[in-house]
Each structure stands twice: as C-alpha cells, then as structure tokens.
A and B are shown apart, each in its own frame.
Chain A
Amino acid sequence: MEKLINEFSIGLFFWQLVLFIGLVLLLRKFAWKPILDAVEKREDGIKDALDAAENAKLEMQNLQADNEKLLKEARAEREEMLKEAREMKNKMIEDAKTEASESAAKLVAQAQASIESEKKAAIADLKSQVANLSVEIAEKVVRTELSNKDKQLQLVETMLAEKSLK
C-alpha cells in the first residue's frame, strides 16, 4: 500500500483525467455518435426490410387464401347455377308436359264433345231422312199398292213393325 502511494504521480493522474475526458468528449461527437447512429439506422433498415418482406409474405398468403376463397365461391356459384338451371329445365319440362297433357285432354274432350254433337246431329239428320224416306216409301207404296186393299194393310203393318223396331 505504501509503495502504491509513493508511486502515485499527481501529474500523471491530472493528465490522464484531462486527456481521457477530452478523448471521451471528442470521440462522442466525432466518432461514437455517427457510428452508432449509422449502425442503428442500418439495423432499423434491415428490420424494416425484414418486416416488409414478412408483411408481403403474409399479404401473399392472404391473397392466395382470398383467391382460393373466390375460386371456391365461384365454383359453388357455378354449381348453384347449374343446379338451378337443371331444376328450371326439369320444371319447364314438367310444366310443358302437364300443359301438353292438359291441352291434349282438353282437345280430346272437345273432340269427344264435337263427335257427340255431330253424332247427335247425324242421328237427327238420319231420323229426318228416315222419316222422309219412309214418307216417300209410303207414298210409293201407297201409289202402287193402293189397288190391293189387303196388301195395303199388310204393308202398313210391316212398315209399322219395322218402324217400331227402331
């Protein structure tokens, strides 16, 4: 300890203190500050770049997910549309079928009705013709067979019998 105190030099202490503090101040201004700032700036830059890359990656992933979603939606929509179209087609066919059968039934009914009415008209016509014919026949018969009284009667009877058959 005594040796240390003996060795102690105030001059050296003074100069070391002055020179060192001067060195710290000078270096702070001209070296450490610019160096540390530059390094920090660079590190920030690298960090930003990395962040940006990460963000871009995330965005890309999002985009891909979006695309996939869109694609899925589109597919689903197409499916839906196809389904709808198919249903529509089926319905249309069904509709057309029922309509057709309805109209066919209607036509048939109409045809039947007209056939019926035609038949009725024809029967009426036939009846009137038969009446006319029978009147004519009767006239003829009357003309020819008027001489023969028996025959006349016979004829009338047969004719009547025939008539009542109808």
Chain B
Amino acid sequence: MITTFSFAKEEKHEGEGDIKTEIKEYINHHLLDSHDFSLTSYTNGAGEHKYIGFPLPVILWDNGLKIFSSSKFHHGESVAEVNGEYYTLFHNKVYKTDAAGTINLDDDHHPTNIKPIDFSITKNVFTIFLVGLLMFVMFSRMAKKYKTGSIPRGMGRFLEPIILYIRDDIAVPNIGEKKYKRYMPYLLTVFFFIWIINLLGLTPLGVNVTNNIAVTLALALITYFLTTFTANKNYWGHIFWMPGVPTPMKIILAPIELLGTIIKPFSLMIRLYANITAGHIVLMSIIGLMFIFKNWIGSSLSFGLAFALSLLELLVAALQAYIFTMLSALYFGSAVEEHHEDH
C-alpha cells in the first residue's frame, strides 16, 4: 500500500495525467515480477526518479551463463552491457538488444527481440527464498523446543494446533490412518508456504508471489508427481479399466479419467493463481478509487471498502492455503486408496 501512496505522490508531481490509465498500469506493474526489490519510489526536486530498495542479481542463460546486478538496468532506464552483449528491460522482462537499447515491436506490441532464458533472482524468487528461510528457522526452532519438553512453548503454542489440524482434519481423513505419514512433510510445508506467502502479499512490501502462474504451476506439479509416483495399482486400475462398468464404457472412460488426473492439478494451479490475482486487482482498484474520487466522501467510502476487503483477503490467504492442502491430500488419498470389494 505504501507503493500505492508513493504512486499518488508521483501523480501529484506530474500534474493532471490520465489517472485511470495510470492506475491500471500501476496495478499491472504491481502484479508483475521485477528484477529489483524496490519498496517505494519518488521523484525528487530535480525531476529524477529515486528508488528505495536494493538490486538483485540477474542470471541469464544466453550462450553461457551471465550474472550481473540488476542495478545495471537502472530500473529499465538504461541498457546493461555484459561481456559485449547488451540487455535491456521491457515490461520487466529481459531482452537482448544493441548498445542503443532498441526494442523492435511487432503489430501486437510484442517485442521481437531475442529473449534470453532468465534465471534471475527476481523479487519473487528472493521472497520465496526469504519465506523458506523464515519457515526453516521458525519450525526448526520449534522442533528443538520439543527436545527439552513435550509441551510447545512460544511460537509452538500457536503453530502446533495448526499442524495438528492439518494432520487430524486434512491428512488422516483423506489419505487414511496407515499412509498419511508419507505425505505430511509436503502437506505441512505447502500449507505454511502458501499461507505465509499470501499474507506477505497483503503487506506493503509489494511482493506478490502466488499470483505468478509459474509458482502455482510448480506447486501443482509437485502434487501431481507425488500423486502419480505414489499411486498404487488400484488407482491406475480405476483410470484405465474402471471396474464395474461395461467394456465399451471402460474404453470411453479411460481417456476421460486420464485427462482428469491432469485437470486436477491444473485446477489447483488456476485456483490459487486466480484467487490471489483477483483479490489483488480488486483491492488495488478500490485503493485506486480513493485517488480518482478526490473528495472526502468517496475516498473515505473506498477506504472503508478497501479495509473490509483487506480483511477478506486475510481470510482468503488462509483459505486458499487450506484448499490447496486439502485437495492435495484428497488426490493423494485417491492415489493410495485400497481396493474395496463393495464397488
């Protein structure tokens, strides 16, 4: 939200621009990943853009590994020169260019420049790493406290009920008493990871990890592979040769069921991505309304609305983590379900 305010300041400085377009661009910008971690920016008296934040390493694969600091881009304002090759940022994406930084656009306004494979530590990667570190420190410390006594202390008092909830109300009923243990590490990690990273997305840090399809795809893919590789004969039997239906139906059902196994993680991916993205868009649009109204009634109304929506987003952050974990557990459960005679 700080970034939003900073945008407002910018706006005032630049005078009467088209606020609506500006807000739209700002939202789009916020939803995108970036190559440096900037908390806020402002324009100083000399008309220069100043950014508060720090650059992150850019790692490119373009005929060999190229690593350099994103400060070379100067927030997309200049061309970075590395070993005789030139790169520039266009809509937060790295393109190969010449010394002048020319970007050739096609009819659909898509650049035709070569795109090197970008393994940069972007803002989102940095956040993922940070959350991982936070979780590791938090939970390993919690685990250590159990060595001295069986009753949780400190952080554990808050976290243990959640861990137990995931075990007793998500893993055990869906996967089964016998086999749930194998999936517990994944379920617990994915729940806390999504939850914490969703909550971080609501903070004024302006990080927004789960609204990247790449992130949710990676998570959904792990669920998919875990389901596929731990599945037993019964699971595959139900997919390729559904018991209890006539043979022609079995042939028709097999591709549908096979498609179903892919649709399941696909819906996991889309759900998390879309919920968080939609939440952010709506929230930021309403915050943007405050600056469009420019009168105290409309602005305070949209402030109240934004506040209520923020609370709702807090709920959504946990709910999406819960649903992702729950459905993952459900899929694992179907993969390891034992054969029942009463089919």
Contact = CB atoms under 8 A, between A and B. Distances in A.
Q: Do A and B bind each other?
A: yes
Interface string B116-129: 01111110110011
A24 B325 CA distance: 14
Given A20-B219, A39-B164, 11 more contacts: A7-B213, A9-B118, A15-B125, A17-B222, A23-B136, A24-B189, A30-B143, A31-B139, A31-B142, A35-B160, A36-B184
Interface in B188-225: 188-190, 193, 212-215, 217-219, 221-222
A15 B186 contact: no
Given A32-B184, A35-B142, A35-B163, A15 B150 contact: no
B33 to A, nearest CB: 6
Contact of B135 (A27, A41, A45): A27
A10 B213 CA distance: 10
Contacts of A7: 32, 212-213
Interface of A: 4, 7-17, 19-24, 26-28, 30-36, 38-39, 41-42, 45
Contacts of A12: 33, 122, 124-125, 212, 214-215
B136 A11 contact: no
B103 to A, nearest CB: 16
Q: What 8 pairs between A and B have smallest CB-CB spacing? A: A31-B139, A38-B146, A28-B185, A13-B214, A34-B143, A16-B218, A12-B214, A42-B150
A32 B139 contact: yes
B167 interface: yes
B71 to A, nearest CB: 18
B139 A27 contact: yes
A26 B121 CA distance: 21
Nearest to B92: A9
B212 A17 contact: no
Contacts of B151: 42
A28 B117 CA distance: 32
A35 B146 contact: yes
A19 B196 CA distance: 15
A32 to B, nearest CB: 5
Contacts of A15: 119, 121, 125, 128-129
Contacts of B184: 32, 36
